[in-house]
């Protein structure tokens, strides 16, 4: 410790350079993690807000909500006390004058379903052709009392309430009842048990019998994995992050190795004086850990600072849990990077230092 820290203090420039490189790597890791989290949120926030465990889709739908065709009557296969029907329509939310236009994800469910978000202004849906909008849309200028259309239909619905911010497929959500959504979809059947829907969502349930018709049961995690584009996006960003760990490891490893080669004579003298390999490795470790901590700390601070001034359109959301794990991974890279010089240090022969 003492040896390592004293040397860093004496060679501030040299060690700040490595800290600087680690800072840049940490910064990119945190930015990518923030983007991955922001995109993930944009895709799945609404699903997370359901607090559901299971989704039932048509077994031929390839686990995709929009491709799943069911009817309300299919509920007979499912046993559970909170089973909510779900319909989905993605389209442009327009005011009648076309004054405001935004892509939105519309959900339809039964009026008293647990999927219905908690209203924070206005009132719950209590009649036909009513719509709840998320706070995100309210911020864009939509408001209670407005008449709007969704998609290409000529039919209009009236905004009656708003709820907390919520997104699905990178678009803000709106909620209405099942038959209103079917009307917006211009579906031929808009009342009764034969109405088309896309899915059932439940908190706890099972199939009533071994024969459950055309239904497939999905855990909520599987459902999220299969949201359009979700896995590919997350995999791309996460792969970049993992590569950065490898780069951090290589940078630290090479830097510490080069310094070790430069200091062979000094380490030889230390060994002559009875200060052995383990003390020297401890010094290298303390140096690389301190540099990593400085780099990670500054990287975090800059990331948090940048998050404040980022344009609102950028899907960037800080996730402290992920940041914590990635910080530990970078720290691990620093530890391993320093340990890579172990053999070199162990092989330094003190006799050479004398000769």
Partner 1 sequence: MSTSVLELQHINKEFGHGHTAVTALADANFRVNAGEFVAIIGPSGSGKSTFLTIAAGLQTPTSGKVLLNGQALTQQSEKQRLAYRFNEIGFILQSSNLIPFLTVTEQFKLVDKMARRTFQKSATLKLLDELALSDVKDAYPNELSGGERQRVAIARALYNNPSVILADEPTASLDTPRSIDVVKRLADEAHHHNKAIVMVTHDQRLISNCDVVYRIEDGKMTRTD
Of residues 248, 270, 294, 330, which one binds partner 1 by CB under 8 A? 270
Task: Map tokens 């010094």 to a residue.
Answer: 283
Q: Binding to partner 1 by residue 260, rule CB under 8 A?
A: no
Q: Binding to partner 1 by residue 232, rule CB under 8 A?
A: no
What sign does the dihedral 221-225-230-233 (CA atoms) show? positive
Buried (b) or exposed (e) across 302-320, using 16+ Cβ within 10 A? bbeeebeeeeeeebbbebe
Closer of 14 and 128 to partner 1 (Cβ): 14
Q: In angstroms, rounded to a whole number, what is the distance separating the alpha carbons of residues 331 and 289?
A: 7
Q: Binding to partner 1 by residue 282, rule CB under 8 A?
A: no
Residues 6 or more apart from 349 whose CB is under 8 A from it?
268
Q: Binding to partner 1 by residue 59, rule CB under 8 A?
A: no
Of residues 105, 271, 286, 288, which one binds partner 1 by CB under 8 A? 271
* # residues near partner 1 by CB under 8 A: 24
Q: How far is the CB of 336 from partner 1 (least distance, A)?
A: 24
Q: How far is the CB of 12 from partner 1 (least distance, A)?
A: 11
Residues 333-352, interacting with partner 1 (CB under 8 A)? 350-351
Closer of 231 and 273 to partner 1 (Cβ): 273
Q: Binding to partner 1 by residue 135, rule CB under 8 A?
A: no
Residue 96 — φ and ψ, nearest 5°?
-60, -30
Q: Binding to partner 1 by residue 6, rule CB under 8 A?
A: yes
What sign does the dihedral 326-330-331-332 (CA atoms) show? positive
Cα R_g (the chain), whole angstroms: 29
Residues paired with residue 70 on neighbouring β-strands, in sequence order:
197
Of residues 28, 266, 290, 298, which one binds partner 1 by CB under 8 A? 266
Residues 11-40, interacting with partner 1 (CB under 8 A)? 11
Q: How far is the CB of 286 from partner 1 (least distance, A)?
A: 12
DSSP 36-83: HHHHHHHHHHHHHHHT-SEEEEETTSTT-TTT--EEGGGGGGEE-S-E
Residues that bind partner 1 (CB under 8 A): 1-3, 6-7, 9-11, 265-266, 269-276, 279, 350-351, 353-355
């Amino acid at each position: 410790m003492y040896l390592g820290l004293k040397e860093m203090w004496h060679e501030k420039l040299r060690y700040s350079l490595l800290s600087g490189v680690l800072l840049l790597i940490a910064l990119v890791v945190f930015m990518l993690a923030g983007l991955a989290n922001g995109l993930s949120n944009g895709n799945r926030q609404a699903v997370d807000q359901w607090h559901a465990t299971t989704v039932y889709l048509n077994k031929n739908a390839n686990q995709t909500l929009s491709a799943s065709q069911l009817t309300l009557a299919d509920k007979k296969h499912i046993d559970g006390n909170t089973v909510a029907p779900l319909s989905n329509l993605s389209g442009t939310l327009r005011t009648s004058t076309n004054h405001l236009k935004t892509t939105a994800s519309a959900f339809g469910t039964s009026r008293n379903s647990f999927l219905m978000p908690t209203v924070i202004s206005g009132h719950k849906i209590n009649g036909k052709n009513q719509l709840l909008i998320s706070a995100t849309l309210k911020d864009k200028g939509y408001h209670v009392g407005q008449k709007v259309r969704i998609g290409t239909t000529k039919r209009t619905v009236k905004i009656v309430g708003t709820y907390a911010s919520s997104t699905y497929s990178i678009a803000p959500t709106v909620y209405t009842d099942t038959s209103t959504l079917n009307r917006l979809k211009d579906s031929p059947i808009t009342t009764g048990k034969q109405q088309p829907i896309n899915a059932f969502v439940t908190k706890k349930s099972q199939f009533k019998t071994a024969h459950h018709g055309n239904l497939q049961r999905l855990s909520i995690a599987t459902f999220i994995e299969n949201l359009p584009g979700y896995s590919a996006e997350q995999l791309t960003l996460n792969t970049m992050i993992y590569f950065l760990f490898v780069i951090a490891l290589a940078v630290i490893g090479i830097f510490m190795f080069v310094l070790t080669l430069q200091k062979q004579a000094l380490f030889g003298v230390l060994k002559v004086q009875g200060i052995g390999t383990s003390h020297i490795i401890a010094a290298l470790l303390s140096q690389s850990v301190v540099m990593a901590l400085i780099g990670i700390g500054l990287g975090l601070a800059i990331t948090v600072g940048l998050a404040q001034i980022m344009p609102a359109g950028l899907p960037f959301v800080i996730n402290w849990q992920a940041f914590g794990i990635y910080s530990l991974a970078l720290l691990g890279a620093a530890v391993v990077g320093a340990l890579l010089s172990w053999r070199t240090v162990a092989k330094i022969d003190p006799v050479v230092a004398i000769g």
